Amino acid sequence: MSEAVRPRVLYLSGPVEPPWTRSDKNLVRDVASGVQRYQARVLTHEGVIGALPPHVETEPAWGPRLEGDTPLGRRLGLFGQLLQAENVQLVHLFWPADPLVAQVVRLGARARGLPLIHTLVRAPRNTLGISHMVAGEPVVVLSRETLRRVQGDGIVDAVHIPHGVPPSSLGELTDDARAALSRRLRARYGIPPDVPLVLYAGDLRHKYAARTVAAVLPRVVREIDCHFVLACRLLDDNDRAEEARLRAATAADGLSRQVSFLNVIEDLRELMAVCDVQIFPADSVDERMDMPRVLLEGMAEGLPTVVANKPPFEELVEPGGAIGVPTLQPVALAAAVVELLRDRERRRTYGAAARRLIERRFSTETVVASYEALYDRVLGTAAPLSSGAASLLRRTGQRMVTAKLAAIRQRAGTDSSPDVGAHSGPAAGRGDDEGGTKR
């Protein structure tokens, strides 16, 4: 399809711009950058230059960066602006289940006669009444478990397209190259030399995951000499308090020297490439992206992975890409980690299986191809409006949306939709799951 006739897709999301420390904004960036038969247009703040490939159109609709959270009225008004969007054939909303945003985007798309896709960038805590919390169908979900839940509560046209990650930027490292990289990174971050590394990269308050890691640490180091790395960003006072509690717990066990708390990492995937085991024992992903990006990135680097054997992580365990253990069971998790650390060949086997699974099911290339196929289907079945009907619907719809926005702004005493502040990404005021990354 030639450049001139590619249908344009308007991506409605939070600002798609650095820092690339959130799974949801990375998803929008990857899809918009990767589609070849469609022209992508994404939203940014003012003054964002060179953050995306040249073929991706950017619109500074978010205006200047604000200190703190973007007001709800401004967010809803911004999405209402899709009524004025020129030369757009498809609207694609990347947003959690949210009745206010869903209303505005639904009305706006109807007023323009535009087909609409809604990707749920978080696993909803509750799917009861989900049809009122999505802007339209098809609804894209990121895991089989969320697919089952939304279909069970009335979403007819639901599609499972997982989050994807790029392949390893380091490729297959030779033993000598890996050893050299390991020495450099250990010196940079103050990690002891010549001991195996166990990595947890994620949110300090990700459903007991970090606390489970802290409970596992003494059980593992009693069996084998190793070092734990917790790569977790500190986004607020609650995070700092949680890290202080974890530090106190490891100190009480006399194990402070066996763990590093890293809040900022220049290149997390480099660190992943020199670790020996990755663990992610989260009990739930409610209100977070279904499959944490850092988890997939570690697997793409060939990192043997141990996860809680429950949805959605069973999608990694069932095909053999990760080892599953019972949730909230430190003894079982410790046993799995020790077995991997003691058996180099077992680590190689699971590392290779992890990389193959990512390449087959969770690669950016596979995800982009799935979205393009969905765009083909939606645009192929969307019934075009006559020019007269479109004009009438646009005028009527614009009045409806303007009135609805005014009413919503009046009654919005609390902000239930994602926070998009000066330093946050598109779907939440605090971090998602990117660990201590700096990108």
pLDDT in tens, the chain (439 residues): 444 579 999 999 999 999 998 899 999 999 999 999 999 999 999 999 999 999 999 999 888 887 766 666 666 677 776 667 778 999 999 999 999 999 999 988 988 899 999 999 999 988 889 999 999 999 999 999 999 999 999 999 999 999 999 988 776 778 899 899 999 999 999 999 999 999 999 888 775 889 999 999 999 999 999 999 999 989 889 999 999 999 999 999 999 999 999 998 989 999 999 999 999 998 877 678 999 999 999 999 999 999 999 999 999 999 999 999 998 899 999 999 999 999 999 999 999 999 999 999 999 999 999 999 999 999 996 555 455 544 544 554 455 555 555 555 555 544 444 433 332 333 333 345 555 555 5
| pLDDT score of 151 | 96
pLDDT at 437 (0 to 100): 55
Q: What is the pLDDT of residue 202?
A: 86
Q: Which residues does 362 contact at the CB level (< 8 Å), separation at least 6?
A: 162, 163, 164, 165, 291, 296, 299, 300
CA–CA distance from 246 to each of 158, 210, 402 (Å)?
40, 8, 50
Taking the chain, what is the end-to-end CA distance rounded to the nearest angstrom?
33
Residue 253 to residues 214, 242, 390: CA-CA distances in angstroms? 10, 17, 69
DSSP labels, 77-109: HHHHGGGG-SS--EEEEE--S-HHHHHHHHHHH
Phi, psi of 38 (to 5 degrees): -135, 150
Q: Which 3 state secondary structure label does DSSP give 375?
A: helix
Separate counts of helices (H) and strands (E) for the chain:
14, 13
**Percent of the chain that is helix, strand, coil (3-state, to 5):** 45, 15, 40
Q: How far apart are CA 106 and CA 10, in angstroms?
A: 14
Q: Which pTM value belongs to this model?
A: 0.86
- At residue 320, the 3 state secondary structure works out as coil
Sorted by where each starts, the structural domains of the chain and their CATH numbers stand as 3-164+364-411 (3.40.50.2000), 175-361 (3.40.50.2000)
CB 231 within 8 A of CB 198: no
Alpha helices in 96-203 (DSSP H): 99-112, 144-152, 175-189
Instruction: Choose among 262, 254, 203: nearest CA to 228.
Output: 262
Long-range contacts of 179-185 (CB under 8 A, 24+ apart): 181/270, 181/273, 181/274, 182/274, 185/270, 185/271, 185/274
Closest of 302, 401, 426 to residue 355, by C-alpha: 302
Residues in a beta bridge with 324: 307
DSSP state of 60: -
With contact defined as beta carbons under 8 Å apart, do 368 and 35 qualify? Answer: yes
Nearest to 414 by CA among 127, 129, 133, 99: 99
Asked if 198 and 275 count as a contact pair (C-beta separation under 8 A), the reply is: yes
pLDDT of residue 5: 79
Q: Closest Cα partner for 23 from 426, 300, 436?
A: 426
